[in-house]
Amino acid sequence: MMTQTSEALAPAIDRTAARTFDPLSKVGDEQAFRQEIRDWLAAVLPADWRKQWQQTRESDLRGVMTWWLEERRKVGLATPHWPKAWGGPGISFAYQIMVYEELSRADAPELDIFTISLFHTPATLFEHGTQDQIDRYLGGITQGTDIWCQGFSEPGAGSDLASLRTAAIRDGDDYIVNGQKIWSSSSMHADYCLLLARTDPNGKRKHDGISYFIMDMKSPGITVRPIRQITGESEFAEVFMDDVRIPAKNLIGAEGNGWNIAQSTLSTERGLLIFGSTERLARSFALDRVDAKDSWMRDVGLRREYAGFYAELQAIRLMVRRLLAELEANPEKASPTLPTFIKLNWGPFLQSYSEFLVRAEGLEAQKWQPSIPGTGHSSRLRFNDFLKSYGWTVAGGSNEIMRNIISERILAMPRG
């Protein structure tokens, strides 16, 4: 797809015509592999991509992100973490880590609106989907034509997800779905939704009777209302379903087994996803020091605070690397609690460090500016990063819930 905005990036594409890049052919030689990625990024990524994307309207977002996915696809790096069985390159975990390190080092854009497509959907389909579902849906992801969203949370069913009330009632070859989802990231761009709905309201436990569906977002009866956030952008939306028909063949796994399947979906949030974010922030963190050398770095109190943040950030990076090492050695045996600790530290770190920068840099840093898609928590627009940091303490489970998990499952404390 070539939108007006992605055409603006075309000169970068032309530059690559002079030389083709093939990092995957260098697997086996770490240095050559890294160098090939660096050369490719230097050739293909416009130096001013942040500025260009900052001017991108929400309606053009899909175009620019699809352009970047396509550039990555051309060199085999659209889905570096996918095994061969999924149609990915099947490179080892160590090489996957190198890809994410190099992308972060070069400040390459994150593929926000493809997060569910690239991580959650294949993990769910490969573990629980039918061969037909795998064949039908995976191609659209690698080709960059399909965007997926995750329809789990509802008003009244976030932390307590098992209380969800969206109902799916069997009617011949279809299920008829009624209900509402909320906070569904990128659902306004999405073609498909990973949907949890209740097929049996009379289960023994509330976790029972939940089923897992693939919902075509173009189905009649779906209304998507973007939610405007404090940063001014809309990354997520409410999704209303009014007598939406989902063919029974779009049920993933057995009816009533949705809760277990959802655990596979959510497990993908550990590992490389968080690794990319922490590495990106580490890069930005180092730049902050350089930028401030003639300003707040001269203040001993602020310098001391910065040193404290440095120690915290290194501790988080080490925890993430330990998790990756455990996942590489044996995903079954990886610590189930380490991701909880990482999340519990990462959210507050983002908040306190972004608050520090707003304070240290003075009035100029308190100015709101249009956000830059694809920059995650490291847009380096101080006020935006500060405002956005709060989302992380809620997304994927709030910090209070994380602390409950630690107290109950690790410290074996009694339930409150």
Ligand X SMILES: Cc1cc2nc3c(=O)[nH]c(=O)nc-3n(C[C@H](O)[C@H](O)[C@H](O)COP(=O)(O)OP(=O)(O)OC[C@H]3O[C@@H](n4cnc5c(N)ncnc54)[C@H](O)[C@@H]3O)c2cc1C
The DSSP element (H or E) to which 414 belongs, if any, is none
Cβ neighbours for 344, distance < 8 A, ≥ 6 positions apart: 399, 402, 403, 406
Close Cβ partners of 269 (under 8 Å, ≥ 6 residues apart):
119, 120, 339, 396
Task: Give least dist CB 184 to ligand X, A.
Answer: 5
Question: SS3 of 244, please?
Answer: strand
Q: Which is nearer to ligand X, 24 or 401 (CB)?
A: 401
From the candidates 255, 269, 305, 326, give the one annotated as an active-site residue.
269
Q: Measured from the CB atom, is 75 or 274 closer to ligand X?
A: 274
- Identify the sign of the CA torsion 56, 58, 63, 65: positive
Cα–Cα dist 203/228, whole Å:
36
Cβ distance to ligand X smaller for residue 46 or 158: 158
Provide, rounded to whole angstroms, the least separation between the CB of residue 414 and ligand X: 14
Cβ 152 to ligand X, closest distance in Å? 3
Give 55's DSSP letter: T
Considering beta carbons, is residue 23 or 271 the nearer one to ligand X? 271
Q: What does the radius of gyration of the chain's CA atoms come to, in whole angstroms? A: 22
CB nearest ligand X: which residue? 158
In the bound complex, what is the minimum distance in angstroms from residue 277's beta carbon to ligand X? 12
Which residue, chain included where needed, has tokens 């989302």?
Answer: 391
55/9 Cα distance (integer angstroms): 12
Q: Which is nearer to ligand X, 271 or 397 (CB)?
A: 397
> Residue 302 or residue 395: which is nearer to ligand X going by CB?
395
Identity of the residue, 96 or 166, whose beta carbon is nearer to ligand X in the bound complex: 166
Residue holding tokens 């956000």?
A: 371
Smallest gap, in angstroms, from Cβ of residue 260 to ligand X?
Answer: 17
Nearest alpha-carbon partner for 217 in 253, 179, 189: 189
Nearest residue (CB) to ligand X, 37 versus 193: 193
Residues 6 or more apart whose CB falls under 8 angstroms from that of 336 comprise none
Residue carrying the six token digits 């990036």:
9
Distance of alpha carbon 371 from alpha carbon 361, whole angstroms: 19
CB 12, min distance to ligand X, A: 30
Question: Smallest distance, Å, CB 194 to ligand X?
Answer: 9
By three-state DSSP, how is residue 242 classified? strand
Q: How far is the CB of 245 from ligand X (least distance, A)?
A: 21
d(C-alpha 25, C-alpha 6), whole Å: 28
Q: Hey, is 198 helix, strand or coil?
A: strand
Question: Does 269 participate in catalysis according to the annotation?
Answer: yes
Binding site for ligand X (CB under 6 A): 150-153, 158-159, 183-185, 236, 391, 394-398, 400-401, 404
Task: State how far the Cα of 213 lies from the Cα of 140, in Å rounded to an integer.
Answer: 17
CA dihedral 297, 303, 308, 313 (to 10 degrees): 0
SS3 breakdown of the chain: % helix, strand, coil, rounded to 5?
55, 15, 30
Known catalytic residues are 269
